[in-house]
Amino acid sequence: MKMTTIVATALVAILAANPAFAEDKKWTEVRIGTEGDYAPWNFTKPDGTIAGFEVDLFNDLCQRMGVKCTFMAQDFDSMIPALNAGKFDAIVDSLTITDKRKEVIDFSIPYGTLCYTFATSDGDIETKLPPDDTIISLDNEAATNAALDKIKAALTDKTIGTLAGGGSVAFVNTYLQGTTLLRQYKTPDARDLDFTAGRLDVIIGTKDQLTDLAKKPGNDSIKVVGPCFQGGILGQGVGVGLRKADTDLKALFDKAIAEAKADGTIKKLSTPVFGVDLTPQ
């Protein structure tokens, strides 16, 4: 009897200390973690507030869900541990849905699509890379290998910049290891600074972000080139990162995202920002 009381008391303490273990609850407020440093998805304005496509979209989604959402900045490297520790309730940071991440967190259905391509100021690389009007699924082995043969020929011994986490470094390590000289960066700003200063021959990233970089004043020489890759190790789109226990919150996000896809909200918000419709198929 005494042991039963001790176990019950301990369980109550665990549930009180960590909401992730609690039963389904009525969500009225959702704390969202994001970098605030990944324009145009999310960025921090001079006054300290976080803005961007994801903020605009999730203001709409949270209204559909009937909850108050607040954004808070968090370094990308510690974002998933911070979520599981209860610092916030959801990750909204252009987070790609991958099988590896699914081992430790859950995801909503996708609210955006991504494909990865290259940017360079080197005319020789631009000429040698395959055409940039092709989207290639890494699940299509024949198409992938055909494109990679040309990419490797164009990038042999070239210095390529990637972000330290996510799809770009995974792509290089999987498909271009031994071909290129890899430099990794914690933030897009740090990578882009070295790139525009001529310390990198080429960078790889999502097409929307590289297109945004090429449009900035003074970057006329930067060209977004080569095919755009998706699927495989690059994941299944962008989703909300959630604790595995919060199935009720996942259901709320899934419903709101499905509605925003169906009524054209994602298309309406993404097209002016990225120049393309990011609505998942």
Clarify whether residues 211 and 74 are in a common domain: no
Report the number of distinct structural domains present in the chain.
2
Encode pLDDT of 179-233 as tens digits: 999 999 998 999 999 999 999 999 999 988 898 899 999 999 999 999 999 889 9
- The reported pLDDT for the residue numbered 93 is 96
Q: Is residue 225 part of a domain?
A: yes
Q: Is residue 159 part of a domain?
A: yes
Q: Is residue 9 part of a domain?
A: no
Give ∠ CA 186-231-195 in degrees, rounded to 5. 30
Segment 246-272 shows an average pLDDT of 97
Clarify whether residues 245 and 106 are in a common domain: yes
Q: Is residue 106 part of a domain?
A: yes
- The reported pLDDT for the residue numbered 24 is 55
Encode pLDDT of 87-108 as tens digits: 999 999 999 998 899 999 999 9
Percent of the chain at pLDDT above 70?
A: 91
Clarify whether residues 30 and 90 are in a common domain: yes
Indicate the pLDDT class of residue 19, thresholds 50, 70 and 90.
very low
Segment 270-277 shows an average pLDDT of 85
- The reported pLDDT for the residue numbered 216 is 93
What residues make up the domain containing 224?
A: 116-234
Whether the predicted pLDDT of 113 surpasses 90 = no
Whether the predicted pLDDT of 22 surpasses 50 = no
Encode pLDDT of 60-69 as tens digits: 999 999 999 9
Clarify whether residues 57 and 193 are in a common domain: no
Clarify whether residues 71 and 138 are in a common domain: no
Clarify whether residues 109 and 175 are in a common domain: no
- The reported pLDDT for the residue numbered 4 is 37
Encode pLDDT of 25-70 as tens digits: 689 999 999 999 988 899 999 999 999 999 999 999 999 999 999 9
Q: Is residue 279 part of a domain?
A: no
Query: Please, what is the average pLDDT of the chain?
Result: 90
Clarify whether residues 77 and 139 are in a common domain: no
Q: Is residue 3 part of a domain?
A: no
Whether the predicted pLDDT of 12 surpasses 70 = no
| CATH number of 170's domain | 3.40.190.10
